[in-house]
Amino acid sequence: MMSLSLAAGVGDTTGHKNMLYLIRLRWIAVLGQITTIAGVSLGLDLNLPMPQMLTVLACLIAFNIGSHLRWHENPIVTNNEMLLALLVDVASLTAQLHFSGGTTNPFAFLYLLQVILSAVLLDAWAAWTIVGITGACLGGLAMFSKPLPVLLEDESAFAHLYVEGMLLCFLLNAGLLVILIKRITGNLRERDAHLADLRQRAAEEDHIVRMGLLASGAAHELGTPMATMSVLLGDWRRMPEFTGNATLLEEIEEMQTQLQRCKTIVTGILLSAGELRGESSAKTTLRSFLEEMLDEWRGNRPVIAFEYDDQLPGDQPVVFDSALKQTIFNLLDNALEASPLWVRLQASTEGDVLKLAVSDRGPGFAPSMLAQFGKPYQSSKGRPGSGLGLFLVVNVIRTLGGTVEARNLDKGALVELRLPLSAIALE
């Protein structure tokens, strides 16, 4: 449902951009009409009803100002609203042609501009509506308008003026169509690309849901055998065979420590199976969270050399949870696996964005992996099912409104996590 609403938003944005193009085209029409009326008044002996034509021009200007104000505040444009805008343009053109020669006016070919725009911008039924109305307007102009030669004091000049007007109308039609169609189709391609991206994201989110269900189910199933193992290890520690053997007791204690770690991991999976900012959330501060998280990570991994570069300008109250902590763990684990001898984490802020950069001195990412970074099962480990760690990292951070980027360094690789501080701020 979320993806469908986003797709609707993309369509609305495209319609809004196209409506703005129509408003600009209408200003060009206004400028053209002013230029034509002025040229006719000064250079040609045409008896045109100037008051009526200027009234139509004033109405068109008023409509365009109203359109600009409306669509500046309201970004959602429906098919019916686009149809109404084109009908106003058709009505304005029809009125001006009626007062200036009807179908004998070469600018009657401007109807084609409206028809082509309707075919690109409107639904099929609305486009055919424009075709029918423009055809009816042409028929009405042919029947009820005075022909242009009658309006000329010298009717012999009509043929010459008609050819010149037709050439000018052709150039105007062709130029406007090339510019508008290129921009409109560009908007449509951008919309289609965005919709494809949304569909891909929906598929990835569905993949995450299925993985979460599988993980939570496995966590529930593991709970019983781990509880049994915990009881058995407790019994062993009290048995005479073990109490007198320090080596065995030490091994049992290590087994209990590792079992407790497994329980913690399983608990984290179950807590993260719900909402991202759910009951597993904890109030802390940014610097405290990072330091405690890194202490836990280093205590449970065979880390040889780890650098933590704290460039945070200050500390602030935040809310973190197990899912986000596990996300950062995944980044560090991947870096440690690629570079067992050295891993580095840099924490900083850029405006209202938290930046966490994890770098290593491993072999880096293959070009194909960088091109598909964050997609499931993209891994250089060569094991079935691998490549899910970075996939989960990207999607958890994206859910919080952040981004994850990867690039290769001269030696090693760097993965940068950018997260809006508003997403983790303590409300």
The CATH number linked to 419 is: 3.30.565.10
Same domain, 266 and 351: no
Same domain, 189 and 221: no
Same domain, 150 and 213: no
Q: Which of 147, 181, 201 is the last residue of a domain?
A: 201
Among the listed residues 133, 97, 130, the one whose alpha carbon sits nearest the alpha carbon of residue 115:
130
Q: Has residue 277 been placed in a domain?
A: no
Separation between Cα atoms, residue 177 and residue 119, nearest integer Å: 12
Kindly state the helix (H) or strand (E) to which residue 324 belongs, with its residue range. Answer: helix 322-338
Quickly list H helices, 348-419: 367-371, 388-399
Among the listed residues 93, 73, 70, the one whose alpha carbon sits nearest the alpha carbon of residue 82:
70
Same domain, 136 and 165: yes
| Full domain range(s) for residue 48 | 2-201
**Which tokens in the block code for residue 28?**
């060009």
**Which tokens in the block code for residue 265?**
């991991």
Q: Has residue 362 been placed in a domain?
A: yes
Separation between Cα atoms, residue 286 and residue 148, nearest integer Å: 79
Same domain, 183 and 220: no
**Which tokens in the block code for residue 200?**
């891909």
Same domain, 297 and 184: no
Return the pLDDT at 205. 63
Among the listed residues 106, 109, 110, 107, the one whose alpha carbon sits nearest the alpha carbon of residue 160:
106
Q: Which of 272, 290, 315 is the last residue of a domain?
A: 272
Separation between Cα atoms, residue 264 and residue 172, nearest integer Å: 72
Same domain, 231 and 196: no
Separation between Cα atoms, residue 141 and residue 240, nearest integer Å: 112
Return the pLDDT at 10. 45
Q: Which of 178, 201, 224 is the last residue of a domain?
A: 201
Same domain, 29 and 166: yes
Same domain, 117 and 54: yes
Strands (E), 1-134: none
Range 277-284, long-range pairs (CB < 8 A, 24+ positions): 277/319, 277/321, 278/321, 280/321, 280/322, 280/323, 281/319, 281/320, 281/321, 282/319, 282/320, 282/321, 283/317, 283/318, 283/319, 283/426, 284/317, 284/318, 284/319, 284/320
List the chain residues with pLDDT less than 70. 1-12, 41, 43-46, 150-157, 201-221, 223-224, 265-282, 321-323, 374-389, 426-427
Return the pLDDT at 268. 59
Contact between residue 134 and residue 119 where contact means Cβ atoms under 8 Å apart: no
Angle at 278 (CA atoms; ends 273, 280), nearest 5 degrees: 80
Same domain, 87 and 114: yes
Q: Has residue 350 been placed in a domain?
A: yes
Q: Has residue 58 been placed in a domain?
A: yes
Contact between residue 27 and residue 57 where contact means Cβ atoms under 8 Å apart: no
Return the pLDDT at 272. 52
CA-CA-CA-CA torsion for 162, 165, 170, 173, nearest 10 degrees?
A: -130
Return the pLDDT at 2. 38
**Which tokens in the block code for residue 53?**
């034509």
Same domain, 297 and 392: yes
First and final CA of the chain: distance in angstroms? Answer: 27
Number of domains comprising the chain = 3
Q: Has residue 406 been placed in a domain?
A: yes
Separation between Cα atoms, residue 412 and residue 161, nearest integer Å: 74
Q: Has residue 355 been placed in a domain?
A: yes
Return the pLDDT at 385. 43
